[in-house]
Chain A
Amino acid sequence: MIPAPFEYARPTTVDEALQAIAAGGEDVKVLAGGQSLIPVMRLRLAAPETVVDLGRVAELRGVREDGDALVIGAMTTHSDVLADPLIQQHAPLIAQATETVADRQVRHRGTFGGALVHADPAGDLPAVALALDAEFVIAGPEGRRTVPARDFFVDYLTTAVGEGELLVEVRVPKLDGQWGMRYEKFNRVAQAWSIVAVAAAVRRENGHIAEARVGLTNMGPTPLRAGAVEAALSGAEATPEAIAAAAAHAAEGTEPSSDLNAQADYRQHLATVLTRRAVTAAAGL
């Protein structure tokens, strides 16, 4: 189908992009790969006045190290994330989750930052960013600010990125020590969104779980941390029984939606099963 008419800007720097957004009128959409935006525009479910295409902003692409953190440019494509050795080394959870995003064609166009700002609860990367305590660097007319992941995802399809602002990069702390990670995704066909997914990172020490971080995908309007599971795992023995007992708390405090693929109670059940599996795998059992 053909989108409704719109203005189109293709800046080459972040500053130009911010100017284009400011000048774009009432309803500006940022095109960061377009794998979600273009379909809804073609279905005429979205009809922005202006589209600002970040495809030529070179400074937003790439992965680099900055001390204890990895810095991932917002316009780094999923396939570039997958191929990046720093990601593989320091944040394999991101690589695992990215590998499950849609299909190869989408991963070549879709971007890391685009997926995070779109903040679809069924998207794979928000829960991973939350589990890894990532920080989001947002540029605006007043300069740059950094928002922690727990404050970034505000509501359904809504993030801390305000009007006139732009996500420029995501800082992911390198996890030191013996961390194991696992992204456990549940969907019906290979290229589909998550019905539920669980991102787990586990640090083991002396046969025990010293620390665990568990992010939940599609268990509410925003990605969630399974706080009760993390608390139960902290200091627990690294045994299947202890992990299963902790994972039973995975749905606590969640309010998932009901849709064609799953009603809420089934999603809550899946969360406990997937959490157990993700943590078990991350713990190396």
Chain B
Amino acid sequence: MTALEDRTEAPAPEVGKARKRKEDARLITGRTTWTDNMVLPGMLHLAVVRSPVAHAKITSVDVSAAADAPGVVAVFTGRDFAEEQGSIPCAWPVTPDMVNPGHPSLAVEEVNHVGEAVAVIVARSKAAAQDAVELVDVDYDPLPVVLDMEEAVAEQPDLCHDHLSSNESFRFVFDAGEAGTGQNTDEAFANAEVVVSRRFVQQRLIPAFMEPRAAVVQPQGDNYTMWSSTQVPHILRLMLAMITGTPEHKLRVIAPDVGGGFGGKLQVTPEEVITLLVARRLGKPVKWTETRSESLMSAHHGRDQIQYVDVAADREGNIKGLKVHILSDMGAYLRLVSPGVPVLGAFMYPGIYKFPAYRFDCQGVFTNKTPTDAYRGAGRPEATFAIERIMDELAVELGMDPLELRRKNWIKAEEFPFTTVAGLEYDSGDYDAATQQALELLGYDELREEQRRRRESDDPVQLGIGFSTFTEMCGLAPSRVLGSLSYGAGGWEHASIRMLPTGKVEVVTGSTPHGQGHETAWSQLVADELGVPFEDVEVLHGDTGISSRGLDTYGSRSLVVGGAAVVSASQKVVAKARKVAAHLLEAGEDDLQFESGSFSVRGTPGTSISIQEIALATFAAHNFPEGMEPSIDADATFDPVNFSFPHGTHICAMEVDTETGFVKIRKYACVDDVGKIVNPLIVEGQVHGGLAQGIAQALYEEAIYDADGNLTTGTFVDYLVPSAADLPHFDTGNTVHEAPGNPIGAKGVGEAGCIASTPAVVNAALDAVRHLGVTDIRMPLTPERVWRAIHSGGDGGDRATAGSNAYGGAQTETTAGVSTEASSLGGDR
């Protein structure tokens, strides 16, 4: 027989479609609820008084003038909350003896960085609160300021926290020889024919999310609802309960639409704690919204490492060993995962290469600066930069082509799954295929030819080509692995599917988006699994009252962990619906086939019932299978057994104007393998955004402190976030090697571009001017640094630490109140 008459054309699968994002219309037009849009009856406004000094004892705080100011309801200092504010939590004690100095939300005895919260004004309007900030009179007894990590760990340094015995928070060592995943590193180096050593500086960066942070708290009896511009409402609820003693079941945290985070909102912030404490103390709804200046100064920063990297090889270019020593700047305090950031990188320094020996040694260092924490890539960009830069340096030392050296040492396609010297099992991939495709996208041979011509003619504009053949570990992730690293939570993710009577579908996800496009991608997944129209799926998220279980969004985890939970829950719904269908169609479950959203009896044309009809039948429950509860809804929690390992080859062609030092990306090509692609448009967008941020680290962004610990780059005039006008066209491509570790086959993509691009850009600039004697240029590659490296040697040196063109010479670091002579802006102004 033929079933042809029975079948309509099956719709094309949603997975793989370049769907425009269903959430974009409201996000782009702003016709949605951001936290700062929240207006509650009787709501009061907060403004935070911040320390203008980097390190001092607080000798007195006089709030009387502020308390008397018009519209001011109350002023609180650290002492007012000393008994109930606890410490900002650090959920990642990376070593058993890690030193945590404690982190009050409002400073009580001392301040340890410029911008630290000292007091909070509560007023009837935002303007009144802001006006009163200047009326709070704080006396500071200055202490020595610790800013330089190398000095901080040298002999007899000044102390960032004078009640501690040193500036070291922890020392985390991974030695492959000791772990049994590799040979003895010292022996490998002792026997090596060639050793190349370099010191790389990962400058301090600021996440610079689009929407500044904000929090609103509404008390209702002894219940509290907090709206916050956060990436992690579930983690925030748990931590607030633990810190403030407000019972977890009396707290509800809502992340409404959130305008970006990049890791910068993966935090439990002092301001969130303060907002809750003030609302609890006054019994009134309160709102805190930061200014951009506050955000740049006091929201956590990222990167800031000094990397001492040694690589050993033989003369033929066979790598023998890798040693990495890291100084990682924690800033003044440990925040949620500050110590975990370098440790996430610890396992990625070997990159895609088959090192027989490896040792990683990291010191977490306190300085009197804003705390650091997660920033897009968190540990892996630093690792990727170090390995991809040192491979180029080794190639130069050996006189080898940098790509040839890589090829010789990378893991071959047939060797997957491959257990690395760091003990990770890389899941799948083909580095050579990605590289070949990227070379073609770039037009490699022509550009190499042009480079040769420019060199020979001594053209003022030189051309260079730089590679980054990278992989990374993402999709955080296996709870057991996180546990083995002493992380304070699991890595699972939760989803629920709720079938509504009209056949529409609600998907509840514990992975809270802040711009990634979860609503679209999840709808595509569910549409395929349930065979319902894309438009019939609604995704709910970001509210602990709706989505009771979740671990939120970071570490490129949403699709590969959260999406997997959605798929798993969908499959459970289908399994339940199958029982109902069998009952209604009076057939055996095994005789049913499920296709395009409908169950039908094999070999019996014309008998079918759609899952959406089953949803209505379930709602009515008039005719339901015996012994089955009337619901086909389902929950699922997914906990993968491994990370996913996206990889790719990024190639940058860079023009360097040797007369001015100005660098300009001529062409950028990258081929990323992110496994199965659910939505190519979202993947492309994530790659573009990641590239922009990775290139920004290479060329533009740097948080600079002056000698007193003032943030000199305190506005966007000085902290240079590039715009589209500053970035090149991106030629992107993909290879697809599905991840075996999740039912979708996807690998994370959120951080890949940011992790991969930075070393490709720096390698390209160096390739352009290496024949002029340049061996390194400090990031970001400012024109002045490039010019100095070409004309005076070295890596371009440090930049003037004070001084700015901003705002007609007006001082930009004084948002907190005062400046000193030494912090005044440079030049003749």
Residues of A bordering B, CB below 8 Å: 1-2, 4-5, 36, 39-40, 43-46, 103, 118, 120, 122, 156-157, 186, 188-193, 195, 218, 220-221, 255-263, 266, 269-270, 273-274
- CA of A157 to CA of B810 in the docked complex: distance in angstroms? 10
Closest chain B CB from A83 CB (angstroms)? 20
Interfacial chain B residues near A1, Cβ < 8 Å: 130, 291-293, 815
- CA of A1 to CA of B293 in the docked complex: distance in angstroms? 8
A2 and B722 contact, CB distance less than 8 A? no
A257 and B826 contact, CB distance less than 8 A? yes
Partner of B784, one of A2, A44, A118, A261: A261
A258 and B130 contact, CB distance less than 8 A? no
With A45-B807, A260-B803 given, is the CB distance from A273 to B815 under 8 Å? no
A186 and B720 contact, CB distance less than 8 A? no
B713 at the interface (CB under 8 A from A): yes
- CA of A71 to CA of B659 in the docked complex: distance in angstroms? 38
- CA of A40 to CA of B131 in the docked complex: distance in angstroms? 16
Instruction: List 9 A-B residue pairs with CB atoms under 8 Å apart, sorted by A's residue number.
Output: A5-B131, A43-B807, A43-B810, A43-B814, A120-B805, A122-B805, A190-B725, A257-B826, A266-B784
Nearest B residue to A266 by beta-carbon distance?
B784
Interfacial chain A residues near B807, Cβ < 8 Å: 36, 39-40, 43, 45
The 9 closest A-B pairs by CB, nearest first: A257-B827, A259-B803, A190-B725, A1-B291, A45-B810, A120-B808, A122-B805, A2-B130, A193-B805
Closest chain A CB from B805 CB (angstroms)? 5
Interfacial chain B residues near A257, Cβ < 8 Å: 803, 826-829
Interfacial chain A residues near B725, Cβ < 8 Å: 189-191
B808 and A263 contact, CB distance less than 8 A? no
B662 and A186 contact, CB distance less than 8 A? yes
Beta-carbon contacts of B724-743 to A below 8 Å, as 1s and 0s? 01100000000000000000
Nearest A residue to B803 by beta-carbon distance?
A259
Interfacial chain A residues near B799, Cβ < 8 Å: 260
- CA of A273 to CA of B815 in the docked complex: distance in angstroms? 37
Partner of A261, one of B726, B782, B812: B782
Closest chain A CB from B123 CB (angstroms)? 12
B704 at the interface (CB under 8 A from A): yes
A260 and B804 contact, CB distance less than 8 A? yes
A45 and B811 contact, CB distance less than 8 A? yes
Partner of A189, one of B720, B806, B808: B720
A118 and B720 contact, CB distance less than 8 A? no
B726 and A40 contact, CB distance less than 8 A? no
Interfacial chain A residues near B417, Cβ < 8 Å: none
Interfacial chain B residues near A118, Cβ < 8 Å: 808
B805 and A218 contact, CB distance less than 8 A? yes
Partner of B659, one of A40, A263, A273: A273
A266 and B788 contact, CB distance less than 8 A? yes
Partner of A269, one of B712, B787, B806: B787
With A43-B815, A190-B723, A273-B659 given, is the CB distance from A260 to B131 under 8 Å? no
Nearest A residue to B702 by beta-carbon distance?
A260
Closest chain B CB from A33 CB (angstroms)? 14
B284 at the interface (CB under 8 A from A): no
With A189-B723, A192-B720, A273-B660 given, is the CB distance from A258 to B826 under 8 Å? yes
- CA of A156 to CA of B800 in the docked complex: distance in angstroms? 20
Interfacial chain A residues near B783, Cβ < 8 Å: 186, 188, 195, 262
B803 and A258 contact, CB distance less than 8 A? yes
Partner of B660, one of A192, A260, A270: A270
B812 and A258 contact, CB distance less than 8 A? no
B-side interface mostly: loop
Closest chain B CB from A156 CB (angstroms)? 6
B809 and A157 contact, CB distance less than 8 A? yes
Interfacial chain A residues near B812, Cβ < 8 Å: 43
B815 and A260 contact, CB distance less than 8 A? no
Interfacial chain A residues near B825, Cβ < 8 Å: 259
B487 at the interface (CB under 8 A from A): no
With A188-B720, A189-B720, A192-B717 given, is the CB distance from A263 to B784 under 8 Å? yes
B576 at the interface (CB under 8 A from A): no
A259 and B810 contact, CB distance less than 8 A? no
B723 and A156 contact, CB distance less than 8 A? no
Partner of B293, one of A36, A43, A122, A189: A43
Beta-carbon contacts of B58-95 to A below 8 Å, as 1s and 0s? 00000000000000000000000000000000000000
Of the candidates A103, A120, A255, the one having the most CB atoms from chain B within 10 angstroms of its own CB is A120
A262 and B808 contact, CB distance less than 8 A? no
B718 and A189 contact, CB distance less than 8 A? no
Partner of B809, one of A156, A186, A188, A189: A156
B810 and A260 contact, CB distance less than 8 A? no
- CA of A203 to CA of B159 in the docked complex: distance in angstroms? 64
Interfacial chain B residues near A188, Cβ < 8 Å: 700, 720, 782-783
B723 and A191 contact, CB distance less than 8 A? yes
Interface residues in B732-782 (C-beta closer than 8 Å to A)? 782
- CA of A120 to CA of B291 in the docked complex: distance in angstroms? 25
With A189-B723, A266-B784, A269-B787 given, is the CB distance from A259 to B126 under 8 Å? no
Closest chain B CB from A231 CB (angstroms)? 24
- CA of A274 to CA of B787 in the docked complex: distance in angstroms? 14
A157 and B784 contact, CB distance less than 8 A? no
Interfacial chain B residues near A186, Cβ < 8 Å: 660, 662, 783
Nearest B residue to A273 by beta-carbon distance?
B659
Of the candidates B712, B723, B808, the one having the most CB atoms from chain A within 10 angstroms of its own CB is B808
B25 at the interface (CB under 8 A from A): no
- CA of A45 to CA of B816 in the docked complex: distance in angstroms? 11
- CA of A274 to CA of B730 in the docked complex: distance in angstroms? 30
B127 at the interface (CB under 8 A from A): yes
B715 at the interface (CB under 8 A from A): yes
- CA of A137 to CA of B787 in the docked complex: distance in angstroms? 42
- CA of A5 to CA of B70 in the docked complex: distance in angstroms? 13
A40 and B130 contact, CB distance less than 8 A? no
With A45-B814, A193-B805 given, is the CB distance from A259 to B659 under 8 Å? no
Interface residues in B261-316 (C-beta closer than 8 Å to A)? 291-293
Interfacial chain A residues near B784, Cβ < 8 Å: 261-263, 266
- CA of A269 to CA of B660 in the docked complex: distance in angstroms? 8
- CA of A191 to CA of B814 in the docked complex: distance in angstroms? 23
Closest chain A CB from B539 CB (angstroms)? 34
Interface residues in B637-689 (C-beta closer than 8 Å to A)? 659-660, 662
Nearest B residue to A193 by beta-carbon distance?
B805
Interfacial chain B residues near A191, Cβ < 8 Å: 723, 725
- CA of A101 to CA of B647 in the docked complex: distance in angstroms? 41
Interface residues in B121-145 (C-beta closer than 8 Å to A)? 126-127, 130-131, 134
Interfacial chain B residues near A189, Cβ < 8 Å: 700, 720, 722-723, 725-726
Interfacial chain A residues near B805, Cβ < 8 Å: 120, 122, 192-193, 195, 218, 259-261
